[in-house]
Structure 1
């Protein structure tokens, strides 16, 4: 009977350590990338909805006359600029 133990491969213990560390790291990285992509899509969709909702309010038609109250404000602002330059 022999008390000798069978030699183990030198890389066997290191491979299991690398696998046990690398696996969860890759999993967390993939989950983080997926979460970032989902958040980006949600933000883009929300901004598109807001833009389409606000676009009719801020459309500018140069052929359209401004209301009289806005016209008076513009004239007053121009007169203030002219008087401050003189």
Structure 2
């Protein structure tokens, strides 16, 4: 299973350079926001995919994904980890 996760996140990271500007924002505790690409989030997380694919009447029009109760630094590290394809600097 780890191999499939690594492959998926690596593919997501590779395609990130070809993506347009981030199309969603992740709202963290304290009201801080992190820009992200919905296509990458959907590839690496079924939970985030469900939030992203939620019908319009059940989500914010500004494409905001709340991840509350988690410190900004932790969410930011998670997004960095996804973008870099599991490669820690």
What TM-score bracket applies, with the shorter chain setting the length? under 0.3
Which of the two has higher C-alpha Rg? 1
- Using the size of structure 1 for normalisation, the TM-score is 0.23
- Using the size of structure 2 for normalisation, the TM-score is 0.23
Higher relative contact order (CA 8 A, sep 6+): 2
**Greater strand fraction, Structure 1 or Structure 2:** 2
